[in-house]
């Protein structure tokens, strides 16, 4: 009896193996069909491919044009403003000349002397020459006195009471400002006017109280 049962099991195993093979083949066939369907869906028409290529070409040309314009702008700025740092440091010459003039004019031992007049005349000639050289190179002083305060080119350092002028009017120039073409080399340091009437009214009210 045991031999018969063993034979039965041996006969059943090949059938199971064949059925498994058939199932695997069917699964492979189904997967290949699905792959073919997906590849057909992914493939684009020639017109779509042409449109995509034209779009890529247009984008590359646009990027090249932007790079060219950026390069031209940087080149122009380097040519026009290459001496920006040198021009800014050269302003120290004018500052030192003005300081020297102020020191000499306030020197009691030199006041009303011929030597002082000659020295000041020479300093004024040098100052005018410097200003003319700067202006030829598009370095120009900022006009400040009696102008309204412009935060773009002026820097207010103090306020001075002045009822005759509108508040915010520049009444004193502490340090001259300069521009290089359309760029600011340094702002002008100034003093601006403010109304003094309000302070007087408050003082009178305090006195009355």
Sorted by sequence, the CB contacts under 8 Å of residue 110 that are 6+ apart come out as 104, 116
> Tell me: the pLDDT tens digits for 143-171?
899 899 999 999 999 999 988 888 989 99
Identify which of 31-35, 39-43, 54-58 has the greatest average pLDDT: 54-58
Structure-model confidence comparison of residues 11 and 138, the more confident one? 138
Q: Which has the minimum average pLDDT: 27-31, 114-118, 120-124, 152-156?
A: 27-31
Cα end-to-end distance, the chain, whole Å: 133
Rounded to whole angstroms, the Cα distance separating 113 from 142 reads: 33
Q: Which has the minimum average pLDDT: 23-27, 127-131, 151-155, 171-175?
A: 23-27
Tokens of 156: 């207010």
Q: How many helices (H) and strands (E) in the chain?
A: 5, 6
The pTM for the full model equals 0.54
pLDDT number for residue 105: 87
> Tell me: the pLDDT tens digits for 65-111?
887 787 776 666 655 666 778 888 888 888 898 888 889 888 888 88
Sorted by sequence, the CB contacts under 8 Å of residue 181 that are 6+ apart come out as 80, 81, 138
Task: Looking at the chain, list the stretches that DSSP marks H as alpha helix, in order from N- to C-terminal side.
Answer: 2-42, 46-81, 84-105, 114-136, 197-208
Residues 171 and 162 sit within 8 Å (Cβ to Cβ): yes
Q: Which has the minimum average pLDDT: 24-38, 47-61, 185-199?
A: 24-38
Say if residue 57's pLDDT is above 70: yes
Kindly state the average pLDDT of the residues 191-207: 66
């Amino acid at each position: 009896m045991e031999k018969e049962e063993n034979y039965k099991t041996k006969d059943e195993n090949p059938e199971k193996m064949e059925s498994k093979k058939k199932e695997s083949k069917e699964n492979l066939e189904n997967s290949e069909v699905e792959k073919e369907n997906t590849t057909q869906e992914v493939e684009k028409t020639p017109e779509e491919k042409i449109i995509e290529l034209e779009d890529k070409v247009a984008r590359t040309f646009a990027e090249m044009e932007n790079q060219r314009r950026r390069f031209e702008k940087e080149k122009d700025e380097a040519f026009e403003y290459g001496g920006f740092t040198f021009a800014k440091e050269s302003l120290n010459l004018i500052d030192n000349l003005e300081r020297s003039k102020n020191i000499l004019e306030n020197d009691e031992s030199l006041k009303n002397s011929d030597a002082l007049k000659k020295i000041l005349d020479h300093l004024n000639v040098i100052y005018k020459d410097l200003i003319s050289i700067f202006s030829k190179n598009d370095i120009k002083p900022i006009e400040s006195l009696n102008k309204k305060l412009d935060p773009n080119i002026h820097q207010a350092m103090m306020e001075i009471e002045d009822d005759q002028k509108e508040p915010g009017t520049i009444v004193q120039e502490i340090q001259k400002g300069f521009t290089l073409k359309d760029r600011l080399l340094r702002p002008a340091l100034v003093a601006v006017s403010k109304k003094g009437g309000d302070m007087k009214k408050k003082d009178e009210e305090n006195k009355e109280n």
